[in-house]
Amino acid sequence: MPVPPKDPFGWLDAAAEQRRRDGLTRTLRPRPADAGPLDLAGNDYLGLTRHPAVTAAAADAAHRWGAGATGSRLVTGSTALHAELEAALAEFCGFEAALVLSSGYAANLAAVTALTGPGGLVVSDAANHASLIDGCRLSRADTAVVAHADPDAVRKALDAHQGRAVAVTDSVFSVDGDAAPLPALAAACRAHGAALLVDDAHGLGVLGDGGRGGPYAAGLAGAYDTVVTVTLSKSLGSQGGAVLGPRRVIEHLLNTARTFIFDTGLAPAATGAALAALEVLRAEPGRPARVRDVAAELHRRFTAAGLTAREPDAAVVSVRAPYPEAAVRWAADCRAEGVAVGCFRPPSVPDGVSRLRLTARADLGPDEVRRAADTVLRTAPPGA
């Protein structure tokens, strides 16, 4: 009698059941094109993803250059639009040069892996984004994970290593919305002769003069030893990522970074949209202050009502939930009442604390801010 073949994916059923028991099952929720819930879950901080100038630029770029980049940037995927965006980003943020990639994730992988390697050291903040963590894993360098936002821990890790080293950190951490102590981190790196790599995904468009970002606000723009990554999918309302820094660093990435060399270039529509969003930000420099004001108002309302929420340094407002299932139900109840909020829980949060994550937007009016806060408070679970 023939032996039935072994199911190579049978173990997935047990893994799915364990996720279900732990309350960690994730689902996709396709949203409609028209107005859905009041959105405080996405990262459209400046409210530019539907701005008429931004969407018109995306459509124009698609008509002129085509729907896709057609190849890697080093083959056929570079257009004059990409070069224009790189020059504009570098000038706006205060760096010598920039390199545009297909995502912020790809930008972080490119920067970490190309600037480190065997025999080197990467010092990584314990709360860094997953893309920085994956970059450390792929770098083949020694990695020291240090206490969150602790320059002394970075200094000690660097002092214990001889040779090339890079410290990597978010400028604004995506879970709690707190800002890194960039000046102190830069000082720790300079004392050792190490480089500082800053992921400014949540700082660009929100912090610094006119939204020029966290490193600009910290006085690190254009520094010889500082490299910055950004995403175009948050404040700029588009898609893609970029690395900014000294010209020789950018040239090195162009020649060695695998997520740049072997990936198709950013689509022209996304490139044109990001460039137009940057132009809107230049013309309306009050948007960054507005998004910070909205975040502060949400925090004030939550804490006044007794919720535990961290004071935001940028656009992210984090509200603690008592346990994972409560966070999931809380977010679902908010959505049912027409307000979309984020839900972070283990393993996405390394400290094991579940949260609602709300993202302020510059285009929210007072009534919308009040409605969002009231919905979160009304649906709060016991123990929140």
> Using one digit for the tens of pLDDT, what is the confidence trace for 310-337?
999 999 999 999 988 899 999 999 999 9
Cα–Cα distance measured from residue 304 to residue 160, given in angstroms and rounded to the nearest whole number: 45
Residue 20 lies in a domain: no
Are 247 and 279 in the same domain? Answer: yes
Cα–Cα distance measured from residue 253 to residue 79, given in angstroms and rounded to the nearest whole number: 18
Sheet holding 316-320, edge to edge: 38-40, 339-344, 355-359, 316-320
Are 316 and 269 in the same domain? Answer: no
Q: Locate tokens 């490139």: which residue? A: 271
7 Cβ contact partners less than 8 Å away, ≥ 6 residues apart: none
pLDDT of residue 20: 85
What secondary structure letter does DSSP report for 311? Answer: P
Cα–Cα distance measured from residue 60 to residue 35, given in angstroms and rounded to the nearest whole number: 24
Are 196 and 118 in the same domain? Answer: yes
Below-70 pLDDT ranges, the chain: 1, 3, 350
Are 310 and 210 in the same domain? Answer: no
> Which tokens is 235 given?
């404040």
Going by their DSSP bridges, the two strands 355-359 and 316-320 should be labelled as antiparallel
Boundary residue ending a domain (264, 283, 302) = 283
Check if the beta carbon of residue 99 is closer than 8 Å to that of residue 253: yes
pLDDT of residue 34: 78
CATH number at residue 347: 3.90.1150.10
Parent domain of 308: 286-378
Q: Locate tokens 């994972």: which residue? A: 324
> Which tokens is 191 given?
């004392």
From the list 136, 90, 36, the residue with the least C-alpha distance to 245 is 90
CA distances from 184 to 199, 220, 334 (A): 16, 11, 39
* CB neighbourhood size of 78 (10 A): 17
Are 215 and 316 in the same domain? Answer: no
Check if the beta carbon of residue 294 is closer than 8 Å to that of residue 254: no
pLDDT of residue 28: 87
Main-chain dihedrals φ then ψ at residue 306, nearest 5 degrees: 100, 0
Residue 13 lies in a domain: no
Are 226 and 293 in the same domain? Answer: no
> Which tokens is 348 given?
């996405």
pLDDT of residue 1: 64
Count of domains for the chain: 2
Cα–Cα distance measured from residue 211 to residue 178, given in angstroms and rounded to the nearest whole number: 17
From the list 362, 355, 341, the residue with the least C-alpha distance to 38 is 341
Cα–Cα distance measured from residue 154 to residue 165, given in angstroms and rounded to the nearest whole number: 11
How many residues does this entry show for the chain?
384
324, amino acid identity: P
Main-chain dihedrals φ then ψ at residue 292, nearest 5 degrees: -65, -35
Q: What is the pTM of this model?
A: 0.94
Element (H, E) at 341: strand 339-344
CATH number at residue 80: 3.40.640.10
Exposure string of 258-282, with b = 16+ CB inside 10 Å and e = fewer, is ebbbebebbbbbbbbbbbbbbebbe
Boundary residue ending a domain (248, 267, 283) = 283
Boundary residue ending a domain (245, 266, 283) = 283
